[in-house]
Structure 1
Amino acid sequence: MSDTNDPVVVDCDRCLVRSPGACGDCVVTVLLGAPPDGIELDTDEVAALGALADGGLVPPLRLVIPLTTPDTHAG
């Protein structure tokens, strides 16, 4: 996900791949039932979820959000 210590904000409403197929196989939905207000994960939590997914214990985080930087524009 991120190489920084910034938290990862999981906002299901902003996810670009949100669909029954993607959400049903996302760790957030599996563990939390897609919380309506989203969740914030710190880097340790993201790493732990990644390790669980790598071990086949939970599905991976499927979150895909639009990129907006000075060089890109969401549209």
Structure 2
Amino acid sequence: MDYIDENTLVIDCDRCQVRGDACSECVVSVLLGAPPSVEWDSAEQRAVNALADAGMVPRLRLVDEQPARPRRRAG
């Protein structure tokens, strides 16, 4: 997940590590049909969380790719 600023969440489905396997249980797919990228501001995030808390939509299932960690050398 990326943030443009503290109020805007960018969901890039192309970078999701569980894309395909978890799409049917993800709120993005339920609401928008698995687009390549979505931007939600803080009000939209709260609304989606409220819908999920009420059991009306599934939660966001995004598992964002993590940048590779530099390896440490022993010695």
Question: What RMSD in Å do the two structures reach over aligned CA positions?
Answer: 2.3
Which of the two has higher C-alpha Rg? 2
TM-score, structure 1 normalization:
0.74
1:52 corresponds to 2:48: no
Q: Distance in 1 between matches of 2:46 and 2:6?
A: 11
Structure 2 unpaired stretches of 5+: 71-75
TM-score, structure 2 normalization:
0.74
Q: Which residue of 2 aligns with 1:73?
A: 69
Structure 1 unpaired stretches of 5+: none
Q: Distance in 2 between matches of 1:43 and 1:34?
A: 20
Percent same amino acid among aligned pairs? 54
**Paired residues, number:** 67
**1:18, distance to aligned residue in structure 2 (A):** 1.4
